[in-house]
Structure 1
Amino acid sequence: MELILQRGLPHQQKAVDAISAALNGVQITPPVQFYENPSISLSDPKLAENIREIQKNIPAEYRSSMPIGDYLNIDIKMETGTGKTYVYTHTIYELHKRYGLNKFIIAVPSLAIKAGTAQFLRDEYVKRHFSDVCGYGTEIEVGVLEAPKNKKKGRSYFPSVVSDFVKGSCQNTKKIYVLLVNMQLLVVRSNGMLSRDDYDYGVEGFYRPLDAIRATNPVVIIDEPHRFSRDQKAFKVIVDEIKPQCIIRFGATFPETTSGRGKNKITVKDYQNLLYDLNACEAFNQNLIKGVTKEHFEPVSKREEKVKITSITSKDSVTFQYKKRDESTKTFTLKTGDSLSIINEAFEGITIHAIGKSTVEFSNGIQKSSGEELDVDIYMTSYQEQMIRLALERHFETEKANFCGRNFKIKTLALFFIDDISSYRPNEEGKTPYLLQAFERLLKERIESVLSTLSEHDTEYRAYLEASLADISACHAGYFSQDNSDSDEDIAKEVETILHGKKQLLSFKNKDGSYNTLRFLFSKWTLKEGWDNPNVFTIAKLRSSGSENSKLQEVGRGLRLPVDENGNRISNEEFQLNYIVDFTEADFAKRLIDQINGEIPQASSISEERLEQVAKKLGMTSDELFDALYDKHYIDRRLNIKPDTRDAFFAEYPDFATGLSSGKVKDRNVAKPRPVKIRKAVYSEIRELWEAINQRYLLFYDDDLDADMAKVVLSLLEKPGVFTDVVMTSSRDIVKSDGSQMMIVSDTGAQYIVSKPIPYNEFLKRITNATNIPIKVLHEALCEYVKRNGTINPERINENSVSMFIQQFHDWRSNNLQGRFHYAKSNTPVGATALTYSDGSPREDIAQGRIGTKIAPGTPSEKYLYDAFAYDSPLEQKNIMSDIEEVIVYGKIPRSSIAIPTITGGMYSPDFMYVVRKASGEKELNIVVETKDVENKSDLRGTEKAKIDCARVFFDMLSKDGYTVYFRDQLNNKQMAQIIKEVLAE
């Protein structure tokens, strides 16, 4: 197949046009020597004028005001997957056509990027595209600078690639000369191939390659500029040694610069003359790249077992602490070669590879320092297998749609990142590694499952799957850095296909007409920047460690829009990249969105159109909304956003924060919630009520319950679904755009049954700990269950069955214990409370979070206990802001401050307390209210209803003990004034 490039895609053409327009009308001097580029007059005022004009389309925050110095710097920001390589190649052709420039250097940070770029520039379909389709009629001659592999004694040869580049004549209008070099070769060393000057011959009188390259007066293109910061050695060589007249940086990410210290420290992106900004949000909004669907499994055990490195004895030994919840910590000291399975069987196959002065490296390639931890759950083989199974399920869902659901077919690829090479590559003994073995077994199972679901019309896809089933090993391949030095012929073929055989990977057929089933690729983050394939639809990050890397960089290998079997780019549909991670990165989608939205500078003004849109959404006219914003000093008469109130503006009106999530606005200038003041005068009025409801009471069950418990347990064991398999369920989040900002939409996950039995004694203990049912009663009930129902499958003595029984018991308790318990006052004195110190005096303030997560503007009534409107729900806000005549004082009860024991096993704390005066003024009534923002009692969950019923019994007992309190629940259809009126009527 041939990849078909598309000419004139707007998001790519704009970048090319912006660079070309920067030189429009600028004085350019013809070269003196045949090997020189024409010279751009950097002092021509027209150059700065052009840049200012082009930058009107760029956010003000990104416009560089730095003067043009010894060279012209131009920046182009394009998100991963939008075609940077194509754009800078197109730029080279355009600058040659318009201004005669034909000596270009492309600097890249890695060998992988260099290989991909070289392949693109040299490919015949690319040459034909620019020569014929774009009409340039010119050809690029690319020289790839490589490190010398063998140093020959005797004569010293000047690098031929440099020689050819320099000797290329600028008078040849049909040739453009490009020198492709990776970062490592640019770093100057005393004997570096570019910096030495002792070659036997030179070129055009130059014996030092860097001097020869400088003489060409080149234009340098930098790919991935975040790897070339201005203080980085390779960049300094470019500026100081090559001295180009122009540097054009193309990247999705740019380096950062920092100025100031402490509170005055400011970090900004190092943009200089940024002419085009195609950020991630725009790329998603315009459907220029795939969407992202993150998915993860929760851990099966959830025991939170961790292994912490406590100390490292230099190059000798490592001390670990094994921490298991509710158990004592164990210490292990291991040396090089020791297996981590000594600590826990989950680490089977992982050994200590090397010990440094302050770090330890494991056989799976992970390196840790003292103080760092390993999460046992991630290293469980069963957990990793389920991630593979989930990735395969998502792959085949997508593959079937791409193969059978259209008039054309799309070859669908999946990429697995692993951290243990030995788990995939066969060892010297020829033993099949556990990960490879598991993958091939799961792949076989999945293909057989998919085959069983195909209809009689899916004949071609059936043949493709049957070919896959016939040779499972042909379906997958791997590439790791150590493969570059491996002499194995089969591995070499895999590497060649993955690194350089993009078209082969995208093809359904081999040259002999047989099916090409290779579509599952394994790597150890070697395939990152520089490698991509448009048809990667699934990425599984097995055994990841929750890195702080750029989330966009991580998904970048799969963001490109796909191509069909004929090489056509498909841009008129929405596609999703499935991204599978472990539970330590459960917030991946949120962090990705934060990163995407965080790249967008906040607007400095709002448009009339936006004002109209938001006003309509808020049920106002645009004039009314304008007046409101103007009165609050958020905007001026020209709709400019006032800098000193912009944070409050975006917080109150998040619809105007285009492209940004509301959380991102808050993150930039987050203010810690201030403590809320307790009004002492109000507290003195409510003190008696507060102290009464803080009295400690104990809950006692009726004596006859013990006699019935064995029958109850047996009846619960016999309920359908109590004994069940362990099921792993994934959580799937889709990253989408609603046209203005990124958002997360939850989608259906996957479920798998896994083998995870637990010992019988552990089974009993866990139930007892959660229910307080004696172990003896449980055991006898289980024995009776077996007599009645037969032997229990040992696989079902597992954590899920524990959970199901506990759930059934809690439901039974909530529904059957009402009326079979009572409260009795404890002799324990009331100590310090949420509102008072141990001596009973009121506190000065309380943390806002104890009484409400949100703050409404304004000052509460003098009757209110606190000096701020802190609330959780709209109904609570109404209650706080309602000034009811009969109320003497009232207040929100701090969260979890009153400990009323309930039959659900937990404690209960109501929401509001009121002291109310009767109409006659003779007596004060105490009212405690539970606020629920639901329409009616039927909307309450069972446990919530049980807690409220317990509270009624508690306050009845409190009244019997001499302090009368009226307890009421408030649902959404009743106002507080109505409740108070009803109580007063009693």
Structure 2
Amino acid sequence: MELILQRELPHQQKAVDIISAVLEGVNITAPRQVYENPTISLSDPGLMSNIGELQKSIPVEYRSNMSIGNCLNLDIKMETGTGKTYVYTNTIYELHKRYGLNKFIIAVPSLAIKAGTAQFLKDEYAKRHFSDVCGYGTEIEVGVLEAPKSRKKGRSYFPSVVSDFVKGSCRNTKKIYVLLVNMQLLTVRVNGMLSRDDYDYGVEGFYRPFDAISATNPVIIIDEPHRFSREQKAFKVIADELKPQSIIRFGATFPETSIGRGKNKGTVKDYQNLIYDLNACESFNQNLIKGVAKEHFEPVSKREEKVKITSIASREAVNFQYKKRDKATKTFTLKKGDPLSIVNEAFAGITIQAISTSTVEFSNGIQKSTGEELDVGIYMSSYQEQMIRLALERHFETEKLNFCGRNFKIKTLALFFIDDISSYRPNEKYKAPYLLQTFERLLKERIESEICTLGEHEAEYKEYLKASLINISACHAGYFAQDNSDSDEDIAKEVDAILHSKKQLLSFKKTDGGYNTLRFLFSKWTLKEGWDNPNVFTIAKLRSSGSENSKLQEVGRGLRLPVDENGNRISNEQFQLNYIVDFTEADFAERLIDQINGELPQSSSISEERLDEVAKKLSLTPDELFGKLYDKHYIDRRMNIKPDKRDAFFAEYPDFATGLSSGKVEDRNVARSKPVKIRKAVYNEIRELWETINQRYLIFYDDDLDSDMTEVVLSLLEKPSVFTDVVMTSSRDIVKNDGSQMTIVSGTGVQGIISKPIPYNEFLKRIMCGTNISIEVLHEALCEYVKRNGDINSEHINENSVSMIIQQFQEWKHKNLQGRFRYAKSRTPIGSTALSYEDGSPREEIAQGRIGTKIIPGTPSDKYLYDAFAFDSPLEQKNMMSNIEEVIVYGKIPRSSIAIPTITGGTYSPDFMYVVRRSTGEKELNILVETKDVEDKTNLRGTEEANMECARVFFDMLSKDGYTVCFRDQLNNKQIAQIIKEVLVE
């Protein structure tokens, strides 16, 4: 399979646009040396002016008053799973396109993150995406800095990766040079690789790598900034040795710094010109990541057995106390290397690894201090077995839905974190890994029982499960830190599958055509930052230590939205991560919510910008809104929110409220969020409209389009920007002496043509993938082009031409396909729908995520289709709470339930449906509404506008077929009552 990257996702594109806007209008001078970046004028007042303007969109508490000094610091906050790597890669391309910057350094904190970043930057699908789909027509040349091998006698070679990075010419407009480095290599302790100056040769006159890199005037991107605090040595090296002109930090978490003194001393996030804040709360609320459903078992035994560390006698021995129902029964003294099973058999396989003056470290990685306790219950094999059963239960209910319950299939993965490697991997001391044996036994039982429940329409899934049953061991694999030094071939294959073969792990089929059943992964918290897989739907923390780690970091490995079997990111519905812990973390969901909401500034006042923004949404002036809030005693004259009125204020004006929406983090042990009920009486009123708009229609293009396509392609090929030379010009400065002083005179430069031709068949394939135009038509058009214009220079059969042709065709589609297509009803029966069964009877309920990611208390009007207020945007909330006299019934259309084919290649589904009574009272009218939270149509992207135009054609076709449906779009400055009245008048 090929992972398909999506262009211009709003939350990602906004970050790229904001970073680029910082330099808008700022003086940037051309490089003096061919190996330099252009120089940003850091004293230009436009920089701080731009930053100040951009910071109006983030909370006042996060705005900084930092001066720029000798380095432009910018911070981009993006929650785990929202695509930081994609965004900073896109930023690199955009800064090169707009401002000519082409020397970038990416600094990461670990080898795992470095491996993942390098894989993304070098992968062909990413290169094609940015070159062809995004239209940059530029290539990133990645140099990955590695630790030096042991130094040998003889010649001392300057690091080649650094040499290639430095020598890259700024005049090569088709190349961007990126140096990827992990923090350990930045410190001088690592053999002094970058700080030495005794190499046998240098680069561009520099013999010290740090000096050579610094001379390029680089822009540095820091990934995971919480690992690079300003006091940390790697950051100091970046600032003092590399001396970048700009540092852009991308992360979900940022380091903290101390402020104040004495009693007033506290800590705050160390933001340095934060200009984009996509925090965890927004990411959950905007449905950009999966929701989380936590679950745990109460202890199997109610004996309440614990083992307490009473004292550490020396670095050689530690004293334990065995307690039952909080009463001490026995004491033990153990030494380094002793098994903990001496205290209780539940701890089989765990030994004492190290003893310090105040802490004990066990072989499972857990570290405990004097006075701390270990719960025996969570280490009992019976408890662990129940956790595995629960994890498999959640996995298979999700996997079945992802395989059989959609129009596409999603490979479903589960991740198990364990703390005792020997329980999974055989070794000399423990020949029979009990966890592995238990897991394989339970997996086999679960698959056998699942197969028995499947019907004829689930035959393919049954075959997949049967393939799993044939080879249970092929269904799971593990990765642990010690694997990096293990020479076992089978273990190496497992590690490669988990770390480096993401696309294969997401595929249902292997290269030989057989089923790829690997989907259960085991690790000892090794798979943390730097590793991710979008299709992890279940995480189980077996034998959890109840650590105080960031709860967001723990669930982060499973938050990304999934991709289907063809590599498409699925973002049009709510997915959920099953998170299974032991009873010591029963409050996990509550603590996760506290952490998410705790990251938000707890505003006690309303800013002018926020007042303006909300007033605009409510179609009021700021003064009118202020008057309303003041008259209701919600605020005082200085716009401070009155503490005793906060709850009422946020309930009535949710646009001002911040915090995690309900249903995003769920505790299955407390009260599962209930599905939304479908009101049968209301459905019967709207049934005719619903069944009509669910009729299957096919899109047909005008017959002459096929015959015209060769001419269309030919017209695109003949545009002047498609087949052109890429010219580079050198600048030549001559130093002269006029008798009194030295002067520089500009001389005549040299022009050179560069290109990177690709094979003709690859050229055609790449255009076909981006346009869906057949290779035959493309070839025919190119042949005709040659007849009319002469041979094409072979150097022009390159990536730049591919990119230009794809861009031209996309523009042509939006401009020329409107009005040249029609819809025709398919003979396919309606079948079951999101609201009804196959026989047409209404369903009892629908998942909340299908109709809205947010929910508020209250009972909707009797006219409303559902029994709860579930919505996605404030505009939708207003619509469902509006009581309009002419409306008979209305309802939110479930997400992606109406699949109208469009000219953009996808499908389209409106948001609301209404049945209204005409003013005469005799006839009813059907209205469908598409809500858009933008001020006017100029803010709609081309694809959105094209989709809505297709919807208008579609509903006109329904009217011609005998069923009148009026389709309207609603922007956020228009009330739904106004739209309905306008339609009734028409």
**TM-score > 0.5, shorter chain as reference:** yes
TM-score, reference length from structure 1: 0.65
Q: 1:742 to 1:295 in 2, by over 3 A?
A: closer
State the distance in 2 between where 1:395 and 1:526 align. Answer: 22
Task: Give, in angstroms, the shift of residue 444 of structure 1.
Answer: 0.6
Aligned to 2:271: 271
Q: Give the corresponding residue for 1:502.
A: 502
- 1:609 and 1:148 mapped to 2: Cα distance? 55
1:260-659 paired onto structure 2 within 5 Å: 260-325=260-325, 327-428=327-428, 431-603=431-603, 604-605=605-606, 607=611, 626=629, 629-630=632-633, 634-637=634-637, 641-642=639-640, 646-650=642-646, 653=649, 655=651
Mapped partners of 1:167, 1:393: distance in 2: 57
For 1:224, the equivalent position in structure 2 comes to 224
Between 502-511 and 354-363, the greater mean CA deviation after superposition: 354-363
Match of 1:66 in 2: 66
Is the 8 Å Cα contact of residues 229 and 255 (structure 2) preserved in structure 1?
Answer: yes
Per the alignment, do residues 510 and 349 of structure 1 end up closer, same or farther by CA in structure 2, a change over 3 Å counting?
same
CA distance in 1, matches of 2:191, 2:337: 38
- Per-residue CA distance 1:618-640 (angstroms, 9 max, x = gap): xxx9999746643xxx5135xx6
Aligned in 2, Cα 1:585/1:744: closer, same or farther, shift over 3 Å?
closer
Q: Aligned equivalents of 1:744 and 1:416: distance in 2?
A: 19
C-alpha distance in structure 2 between counterparts of 1:217 and 1:646, whole Å: 51
The residue that corresponds to 1:737 in the other structure is 661
Report the CA distance between 1:655 and its aligned residue: 2.8
User: Any gaps of 5 or more consecutive residues in structure 1?
Assistant: 615-620, 665-735, 750-986
Residues 656 and 266 (structure 1), Cα distance of their counterparts in 2 relative to 1, 3 Å cut: farther
Cα distance between partner residues in 2 of 1:245 and 1:655:
47
Q: Using the alignment, how far apart are the partners of 2:28 and 2:615 within structure 1?
A: 47
Counterpart residue number, 1:962: none
Following superposition, the deviation at residue 562 of structure 1 comes to 0.3
Q: Could you tell which deviates more after superposition, 442-451 or 117-126?
A: 442-451
Give the Cα separation in 1 of the matches to 2:616 and 2:203.
67
8 Å contact from structure 2 (residues 300, 382) kept in 1: no
SS at match of 2:439: helix
Structure 1 position 748, deviation (Å)? 5.8
* In structure 1, distance between residues paired with 2:368 and 2:473: 34
Alpha-carbon shift at residue 479 of structure 1 (Å): 0.6
- The alignment covers a number of residue pairs equal to 663
Structure 1 position 81 matched with structure 2 position 81: yes
- Structure 2 residue runs of 5 or longer lacking an equivalent are 619-623, 674-986
State the 1:263 CA deviation.
2.8
Partners of 1:187 and 1:171 in 2: CA distance: 32
Q: 1:23-59: per-residue Cα shift (whole Å, max 9, x none)? A: 0110001111110000000000111111111111111
The one-letter amino acid of 1:553's match is Q
Compared with structure 1, are the counterparts of its residues 211 and 268 closer, same or farther at alpha carbon in structure 2 (3 Å cutoff)? same
Point out the structure with max Rg over C-alpha: 1
Contact 2:106–2:179, Cα closer than 8 Å, also in 1: yes
Contact 1:611 1:626 in 2 (8 A): no
Separation in 1, partners of 2:118, 2:312: 44
1:318–1:334 contact (8 Å) kept in structure 2: yes
Distance, in Å, in 2 between the alignment partners of 1:659 and 1:110 is 40
How far, CA to CA, are the matches of 2:666 and 2:647 in structure 1? 17
Matches within 5 A, 1:28-177: 28-177=28-177
Distance between the aligned counterparts of 1:627 and 1:158, measured in 2? 69
Distance verdict in 2 for CA 1:654–1:333, change over 3 Å: farther
Residues 488, 657 of structure 1: alpha-carbon distance in 2 compared, 3 angstrom cutoff? farther
Tell me the secondary structure at the aligned position of residue 457 of structure 2.
coil
- State the match for 1:253 in structure 2: 253
**Distance change (3 Å), C-alpha of 1:255 and 1:649:** farther
Q: Tell me the secondary structure at the aligned position of residue 239 of structure 2.
A: helix
Q: 1:574, 1:190 → 2: CA distance?
A: 46
Alpha-carbon displacement from aligned partner over 1:282-304 (angstroms, at most 9, x marks no partner) = 11111111000001111122332
Query: For 1:552 and 1:130, how far apart are their aligned partners in 2?
Result: 30
Q: Taking structure 1 as reference, are residues 738 and 119 closer, same or farther at Cα in structure 2, changes over 3 Å only?
A: same
Query: What letter matches 2:661 in structure 1?
Result: S
Q: Structure 1 608/356 Cα, relative in aligned 2: closer, same or farther at 3 Å?
A: closer
Q: Distance in 1 between matches of 2:223 and 2:172?
A: 27
Q: 1:612 and 1:133 mapped to 2: Cα distance?
A: 36
CA distance in 1, matches of 2:626, 2:490: 72
Question: Residue 578 of structure 2 aligns to a residue in which SS?
Answer: strand
CA RMSD of aligned residues (A): 2.5
Matched position secondary structure for 2:178: strand
Q: Which residue in the other structure is 1:920 paired with?
A: none
Q: Residues of 1 paired with 2:70 and 2:57: CA distance? A: 26
The code of the aligned residue for 1:509 comes to: K
1:276, distance to aligned residue in structure 2 (A): 0.9
- Relative to structure 1, is the Cα distance of residues 450 and 744 closer, same or farther in structure 2, using a 3 angstrom cutoff? closer
Cα distance between partner residues in 2 of 1:560 and 1:629:
42
Question: Residue 31 of structure 1 aligns to a residue in which SS?
Answer: coil
Match of 1:457, SS state, is helix
Aligned equivalents of 2:393, 2:459: Cα separation in 1: 21
- Aligned-residue offset at 1:648: 3.8
**SS, match of residue 584 in structure 2:** helix
CA 1:190–1:75 in 2, change beyond 3 Å: closer, same or farther?
closer
After TM superposition, the structure 1 stretch with the greater mean CA deviation from structure 2, 653-662 or 468-477, is 653-662
Q: Once the 2 structures are TM-superposed, how far is the Cα of residue 205 of structure 1 from its aligned partner?
A: 1.4
Deviates more, 1:314-323 or 1:133-142: 314-323
Cα offset, 1:408, TM superposition: 0.7
In 2, the alpha carbon distance for the partners of 1:193 and 1:609 equals 53
- Secondary structure of residue in 2 paired with 1:458: helix
Counterpart code for 1:351: T
Q: Matches of 2:31 and 2:92 in 1, distance apart? A: 18
Structure 1 residue 258: deviation in Å? 1.1
- Mapped to 2, the partners of 1:743 and 1:381 lie a distance apart of 27
**SS of 1:737's equivalent?**
coil
Between the aligned residues of both structures, percent identity stands at 79
Deviation at 1:355, TM superposition (A): 2.8
Structure 1 residues 381, 51: closer, same or farther in 2, change over 3 A? same
State the Cα distance separating 1:322 from its structure 2 match: 1.0
- Partner SS, residue 147 of structure 1: coil
Question: 2:719 corresponds to which residue?
Answer: none
Distance 2:655 2:416 in 1: 31
Instruction: Write the letter of the residue equivalent to 2:646.
Output: F
Q: Offset at 1:310?
A: 1.4
**CA 63–429 in structure 1, closer or farther in 2 if over 3 Å, else same:** closer
AA matched with 1:601: P
8 A Cα contact 2:293 2:665, kept in partner: no
Q: Give distance in 1, aligned partners of 2:168 and 2:616.
A: 60
Secondary structure of residue in 1 paired with 2:301: coil
Per-residue CA deviations over 1:697-754 (Å, capped at 9, x if unaligned) read: xxxxxxxxxxxxxxxxxxxxxxxxxxxxxxxxxxxxxxx7249x977675569xxxxx
Instruction: Name the aligned partner's letter for residue 483 of structure 1.
Output: D
Task: Note closer, same or farther for the CA distance 1:272–1:656 as it changes in structure 2 (3 Å cut).
Answer: farther
Cα 1:72–1:448 change in 2 (3 A) is: same
Per the TM alignment, residue 267 of structure 1 is displaced from its structure 2 partner at its CA by 1.7
Please give the alpha-carbon distance, in whole angstroms, between the structure 2 residues aligned to 1:234 and 1:268.
Answer: 21
Amino acid of the residue matched to residue 274 of structure 1?
L
**Offset of residue 151 of structure 1:** 2.7
Structure 2: how far apart are the matches of 1:608 and 1:203?
A: 55
